[in-house]
Amino acid sequence: MRVLIIITIISIMGNLVGLFLAYKYLKADRRLDRVTQSLIQTRIDYNKLYNKHLLFIHHSVGENMLYEGGLKDSLEGCGIGVHSGTYGSDIGQNTDLCDWVSKFDTFFSKMIKYDIKPDILYPDNRENEIILFKSCYPNSDVIGEGTSPGDPFNKNKTIWNYKAVFEKLGEIFSASPRKLFIYLTAPPIVASQTSAENAARAREFNNWVKTKFAASYRERSNLSNFLVFDLFDVLTDQSGFLRIEFKRSDSDSHPNIQGSIEATRRFMQFLRDNEIIEQAKLSNK
């Protein structure tokens, strides 16, 4: 009899503990749901502020431009909503030059609907009109000329492989004439981490993509939806290395705050020169 009573008491206590834990779980779940709904509403309210939206696909140098350099605030002040695709999302992971063709092929429909990481998309019919993309500074360590016609998926950093990337991207961009694609060239590297020859090849490729390729693309597609901002040129010295005044240290190729501010200033002027700021302001009237 005593054993039965003890078993009954234990059973009741177990049920009570189970009910208590279930209550706590449901309460926490409701709190999480309220937080989620609040976040969604915050994003909806933010996105309503702008009629034009920009997706920036980048890593750490781009992050520094956005916040240390004030790029996010500058763009928003001109009527452009900013959406950052970086580490921790399908959009922002893997941004070497050899990754771009696969990324645009696989995730383009997600890019135009992308709001915030990790891969949260707009809940309405809103889209990103501008796609800004850059590779990080290791891509400026161009090891050789390579072999024509190049391979857009090859990880070897050669001029011909890089050219092959943009020949393929041109086909993708021309299929979306209402979207504006802006390529930021990869930033320069500090002198201790590359060579003058490799840096010179990076400059050679950047000059090609912003002049010959851009002109050829416009002629072939009869479109003006592709632009190149030469970030490398903004930050580099005559030898092709990161300028002394923009260095954090002799071994760190991330531009310092001064470099991020200068990059932002020049990029905003680039947007004005190409009438993108004016168009954004008109769309928000």
Please indicate, yes or no, whether residues 254 and 179 belong to a single structural domain of this protein.
yes
Q: Tokens 């502020």 sit at which residue?
A: 49
For residues 83 and 194, state if they share a domain: yes
Same structural domain for residues 72 and 131? yes
Same domain, 27 and 130: no
Query: 59 and 158: one domain?
Result: yes
In terms of domains, do 233 and 106 share one? yes
The domain in which residue 98 lies consists of: 51-283
Average pLDDT over residues 79-90: 95
> Considering Cα of 32, then 34, then 37, then 41, what sign does the dihedral take?
negative
Question: With bands split at pLDDT 50, 70 and 90, how would you rate the model's confidence at 37?
Answer: low
pLDDT of 36? 52
Same domain for 20 and 128, yes or no, is no
The pLDDT, as a whole number, for residue 18 is: 60
Q: Is 231 helix (H, G, I), strand (E, B) or coil?
A: helix
- The model's pTM: 0.86
Can you list the positions of beta strands (E) in the chain? 52-57, 80-85, 114-116, 120-121, 130-134, 180-184, 226-229
Task: Looking at the structure, tell me whether residues 128 and 250 fall in a common domain.
Answer: yes
The model's pLDDT over 86-98, given as tens digits with 9 standing for 90+, comes to 999 999 999 999 9
Co-location of 141 and 236 in the same domain: yes
- Number of domains forming the structure of the chain: 2
* Angle at CA of residue 225, ends 102 and 46, nearest 5°: 80
Q: What is the CATH number of the domain that holds 134?
A: 3.40.50.1110
Same domain flag for 142 and 204: yes
DSSP 3-state of 156: coil
Q: What is the 3-state secondary structure (H, E, C) of 185-200?
A: CCCCECHHHCCHHHHH
pLDDT in tens, 222-239: 999 999 999 999 999 999
Q: 113 in helix, strand or coil?
A: coil
